[in-house]
A = this chain, B = another copy of it.
Amino acid sequence: MNKVVIFGVGLIGGSFALALKKAGAVGSIVGMDRSPAYLARALERGIIDVIGGTRAAASPAGADLAAGAAAASDAMAEALHGADLVLLAAPVAQTEAILSAIAPHLQAGTVVTDAGSTKSDVVVAARRALGGKIAQFVPGHPIAGRETNGPDAAIDHLYAGKKCVLTALDENAAEDIDRVAAAWRACGAIIHRLTPQEHDKVFAAVSHLPHLLAYALVDDIANKPHADLLFQYAASGFRDFTRIAGSSPEMWRDISLANQSALLTELDAYLAQLTGLRARLAAGDGAGLERVYSNAQSARHQWITAIEAAEAPPSHE
């Protein structure tokens, strides 16, 4: 690819850029972000080659509104001109606004994808924003992360050996899907395909719910009067259990709302499970508790064994 445009030059977008560059899979990368500091830092680190503009420029205050909007529109047109691929790597709640700003300037040869952790809502937003250009949008979700954010957290091997789920639309041309898949493969990712609805159910269970549970536990403890004493004795088990509560609150607020329905379903199932465990505990039902614990331990062991076997070769599909 000659030109790639990335909206959001933090951990996810920045790591995509670094991996593409390391693989020699891109000519130049244009960065767009609402944070001028992030853009400056991304340029400094060599994550991007060109600052395309801050999205804040699209909504200036006061009398300069019209002039500011025109300038932002010009910047967007220039950024998108001749782009092979556009990646949206901003919090999912911003997807529609960014796609709406892109739409008038999107050329026929450009494919747009995203890295959002939810997909059904992204597809709805994309249809609204892109209208007749919806075929150019191939939704995606790389399954990788760290508990730190921003361009300084970006690393060139974040996606190596990790899954990237594409939830292609009926309107997508095969070669456009292939362009997105090839970019992620160049980053070392393994491509999987799901429908947007399948994707959202799966990740509500194995990702969104655990995040909510970890945030809930740390907040619960932090609000107790003897929180300091409690934290003093929290050890490595607590640290790992709550690692995901170090993630961006804004990002996870957006994900929670974007996948509200599937997340509520999973949360209700988990509340029922906890209520059952509470009853066993209150009844002193050791055998009942042990059955749940044993089933969990062996299921996790099988999963880890399968994951390790699958991830052993350097890269395959």
Return the CB mask of A204-238 against B: 1 if under 8 Å, else 0.
01110111111111111111100101110111111
A230: contacting residue among B202, B254, B275, B293, CB under 8 A: B202
A273: contacting residue among B219, B240, B260, CB under 8 A: B219
The complex places the Cα of A236 from the Cα of B303 at a distance, in Å, of 12
Are A267 and B245 within 8 A (Cβ)?
no
CB distance from A72 to the nearest CB of B (A): 26
A297: contacting residue among B209, B215, B293, CB under 8 A: B215
Could you say which of A202, A236, A296 has the most chain B C-beta atoms within 10 Å of its C-beta? A296
Are B284 and A260 within 8 A (Cβ)?
yes
The complex places the Cα of A218 from the Cα of B304 at a distance, in Å, of 12
Judge whether A160 is part of the interface by a CB distance below 8 angstroms.
Answer: no
Are B207 and A235 within 8 A (Cβ)?
yes
Return the CB mask of A34-77 against B: 1 if under 8 Å, else 0.
00000000000000000000000000000000000000000000
A300: contacting residue among B143, B216, B242, B300, CB under 8 A: B242
Judge whether A97 is part of the interface by a CB distance below 8 angstroms.
Answer: no
Interface majority SS (helix, strand, loop, mixed), chain A: helix
Please name all residues of chain B whose beta carbon is closer than 8 Å to the beta carbon of A273 when the two chains form the complex: 216-217, 219-220
Please name all residues of chain B whose beta carbon is closer than 8 Å to the beta carbon of A264 when the two chains form the complex: 278, 281-282
Residue of B nearest to A222 (CB): B299
Q: Which of A76-132 contact B (CB under 8 A)?
A: none
Judge whether A163 is part of the interface by a CB distance below 8 angstroms.
Answer: yes
Given contacts A207-B235, A218-B299, A233-B203, are A267 and B290 in contact (CB under 8 A)?
no
Given contacts A210-B241, A238-B210, are A205 and B221 in contact (CB under 8 A)?
yes
Judge whether A185 is part of the interface by a CB distance below 8 angstroms.
Answer: no
Q: Which of A260-317 contact B (CB under 8 A)?
A: 260, 263-264, 267-271, 273-275, 277-278, 281-282, 284, 286, 289-290, 292-297, 299-301, 303-304, 306-307
Copies of this chain, count = 2
Given contacts A143-B233, A299-B219, A300-B245, are A293 and B213 in contact (CB under 8 A)?
no
Are B267 and A278 within 8 A (Cβ)?
yes
User: What residues make up the interface of A, taking CB atoms closer than 8 Å to B?
Assistant: 143-145, 162-163, 165, 192, 198, 202-203, 205-207, 209-224, 227, 229-231, 233-250, 252-254, 256-257, 260, 263-264, 267-271, 273-275, 277-278, 281-282, 284, 286, 289-290, 292-297, 299-301, 303-304, 306-307
Please name 24 pairs of A and B residues whose Cβ atoms are closer than 8 Å in the assembled complex, sorted by A. Answer: A143-B233, A145-B236, A198-B229, A202-B229, A202-B233, A205-B224, A205-B230, A206-B235, A207-B235, A207-B238, A211-B237, A214-B296, A219-B292, A219-B293, A227-B299, A239-B304, A240-B241, A245-B297, A246-B301, A249-B297, A253-B286, A253-B289, A264-B281, A264-B282
